[in-house]
Structure 1
Amino acid sequence: MDRAERIGLGVAVAAHGALFAALSFGLLTRPDEADPRDALSVTITDEIGLESSSPSPAEAAPAPEAPEAGPPETPPPEPELTRAPRIETAPPPA
């Protein structure tokens, strides 16, 4: 390894070490800003809401209808089989 390669390797190792340190200490991150949210009121009870409050409860959803069946597709025509051309070999050299 000559002098230029040693210098390049040293610079690469130092840069990777600096990047690892910066990411480890969180120097390149922004602080998390929490979004203020409205509080929700929650009632935990056994007696309220035992009956459905909707005007007409929905029954099971009907199965989707399939599109109308069209005529069956005709299969493509079978290709004609042809013989491969005969390959003539050259006579062996004498």
Structure 2
Amino acid sequence: MASTPDVATRLLRALTALDGHEFWADDVALVTGEELDIALATSHQDVTDAHLVALARRHAGRLVSFDSRIARLLREADIPLLELPNDEPGVG
């Protein structure tokens, strides 16, 4: 996990340079969109994570994150959308 902003930036650059990386436009409406299942959020900190899950769902992609707390924001059908490197088998 990144310990400083500089390390996080270098890690992000390396990950986005990988084959298969695709930039997704932020085309999920935070308040009015149906893709965002905000009912699964338990705090204000979950809103951004729920938004990222909604983007993965909308673009039929995968969200790769080191934050395993995102898993609690998934509907059953969304489990394949999340990849958690170095996490327990079954998610990722």
Q: TM-score, normalised by structure 1?
A: 0.18
Q: Which has the higher contact order (CA 8 A, sep 6+)?
A: 2
Q: 1 or 2, which has the higher strand percentage?
A: 2
Higher Cα Rg: structure 1 or 2? 1
